[in-house]
Amino acid sequence: MTKVHVTTSINGDETEFLCEPHDTLLDVLRNDLSLTGTKEGCGSGDCGACSVTLNGRLVCSCLVLGVEAEGAEVGTIEGVGEADNLNVIQEKFLEHAALQCGICTPGLIVSTQALLAENPSPTEEEARYYLAGNLCRCTGYDKIIRAVMDSAETMRGEVK
């Protein structure tokens, strides 16, 4: 099979790669571009560990083909913040101990960012439904939801 040449932007960086037509965006990110912050939990769109944004829309990168990134803007966890300059959501996840094993965390943070961009004042129920596509097996979601609600408040400027 001939590989396809794709030009895209990942976290604002212009990026080129070659991929098989059947390769998923998740495979390309992880295996070809070494962006392993995006995780694979199922490969079938059921766990959300692979959440990224594609032109601002939240998607499961395991359900997107690498070639679909052509001309698009891709956002991954690597673009959310830096260890010495964390994004509010990242800080709140740490403060609230909203992770145990942490495998769901990159996906949840990317999803939370998308949630708060769409809806800066979600109710607890709205947050729970928006994040229903991101499975976490460790925490029971309690501390995650607290971190999300606190992030929203902080981002709205209602610092406690």
Partner 1 sequence: MSEAKKFNFIGQRTIRPDGHDKVTGKANYAADLSLPGMIWGKILRSPHAHAKILKLDTSRAEAMSGVMSVATFDDLPSVSNEAIQSGEGAIDSLDLGRNVLARDKVLYHGHAIAAIAAKTVAIAEKALELIDVEYEVLTPVLDLHAAMKADAPLLHEDMFTQGYPEQPEKPSNIAARHELKMGDVEAGFAEADVIVERDFVTPTVHQGYIEPHACTVSYNTEGQSMVWCSTQGHFDVRASTAKLLAMPLGNLKVIASEIGGGFGGKTTVYLEPIALILSRKSGRPVKMMMDRDEVFRASGPASAARLTVKVGGKKDGTITAMQTSIAYEAGAFKGSPAMIGGMTAFTPYNCPNVYCETFDVVVNKPKVAAYRAPGAPQAEFGAEMAVSELAEKLGIDPVDLRLQNAAKEGTQTVYGPKLKAVGLVECLEAAKNSPHYKTELKEGEGRGIASGFWFNIGGQSSVTINMNPDGTGTIVEGSPDIGGSRASMQMMASEELGIPLNDLKPIIGDTESIPYNQSTGGSRTTFATGMAVIEAAQDVVHQLKERAASLWNVTPDQVEWRDGSAINTAGEGQMTCAEICAKCEKTGGQISGTGNVNARGAGPSFAVHVCDTKVDMETGKVDVIRYTAIQDAGKAIHPSYVEGQFQGGAAQGIGWALNEEYVYNDDGVMENAGFLDYRIPLASDLPMIDTIIVEVPNNFHPYGVRGVGESGIIPPLAAVGYSVGDAIGANVSELPCSPPRVLKLIQEKG
Q: Which residues bind partner 1 (CB under 8 A)?
A: 20, 22, 30-31, 34-44, 46-47, 49, 76-78, 80-83, 86, 90, 93-97, 99-106, 109, 125, 127-129, 131-145
Decide: 59 and 53 in contact? Cβ < 8 Å: yes
Interface stretch with ligand FES, choices 7-15, 79-87, 109-117, 131-139 (CB under 6 A): 131-139
**Using CA of residue 88, residue 92, residue 95, residue 100, what is the dihedral sign?**
negative
Give phi and psi for 48, each to the nearest 5: 80, 0
**Using CA of residue 135, residue 136, residue 141, residue 144, what is the dihedral sign?**
negative
**Between 8 and 38, whose beta carbon lies closer to ligand FES?**
38
Q: Which of 20, 32, 40, 153 is close enough to bind ligand FES by CB under 6 A? A: 40
Residue 60 contact among ligand FES, partner 1, none, beta carbon within 5 to 8 Å by kind = ligand FES
Residue 78 contact among partner 1, ligand FES, none, beta carbon within 5 to 8 Å by kind = partner 1
Query: Does residue 60 touch ligand FES according to CB under 6 A?
Result: yes
Query: Does residue 81 touch ligand FES according to CB under 6 A?
Result: no
Residue 94 contact among partner 1, ligand FES, none, beta carbon within 5 to 8 Å by kind = partner 1
Residue 3 gets which letter from DSSP?
A: -
The 13-19 sheet, strands edge to edge: 13-19, 4-10, 73-75, 51-54, 57-60
Percentages helix, strand, coil for the chain (3-state, rounded to 5) are 40, 20, 40
Residues that bind ligand FES (CB under 6 A): 40-43, 45-50, 60, 62, 99-104, 136-139
